[in-house]
Amino acid sequence: MPEAAGADPLDTARAMWAGDPASRALGMELLDLGEGRAEVAMTVRADMVNGYALAHGGLVATLADSAFALACNSRGRTTVASGFDITFLEAGRLGDRLVARARETALRGRSGLYDVTVRRDSDGVPIAEMRGRSRALATARGQE
């Protein structure tokens, strides 16, 4: 939705985050939010590891996706993912605090491009790199 006069564009992202039970259930914490950027943390729990005792890739991707969602909704328009690609670089382990930092790299009309880096907080080692593609929803029939 377009930004209302005087409205804070971050309110769209804040409202989305407040209504996000999936991120809450995984213990995610919003660390930073600004226009075109967000940072979210999650600690790898015992129920988040795979059969090799490593952080489950799907949950690392979920952390990255949550940071991406906040960043692409930080411009005051309701925005959804149109897709993302993730590359795993290093394994996360039980007890690791992972921090996902998303930043907007391009915004053209209703389409956006975002890069997200997930790092292990203790040593700053990159765990994963994600590139997300977003699409802002039209506010009314035929509007962009």
Confidence (pLDDT) at 6: 61
Domain map (residue ranges) of the chain:
10-136
> pTM, whole model, 2 decimals?
0.91
Q: Which of 104, 101, 36, 13 is nearest to 63 (CA)?
A: 101
Q: How confident is the model at residue 138 (pLDDT cuts 50, 70, 90)?
A: confident
What confidence score (pLDDT) does residue 5 get? 56
**pLDDT score, position 7:** 80
pLDDT tens digits, one per residue of 60-97: 999 999 999 999 999 999 999 999 999 999 999 999 99
Which residues are 87's β-sheet partners?
A: 129
Three-state DSSP at 122 gives: coil
Instruction: Give CA–CA dist 122/97, Å, rounded.
Output: 7
Looking at residue 4, its pLDDT comes to: 54
Terminal C-alpha separation, the chain:
9
Architecture field, domain 10-136 = Roll (3.10)
Structure tokens, 124: 């700053």
Mean local confidence (pLDDT), 127-135: 98
Residue 142 has pLDDT above 50, yes or no: no
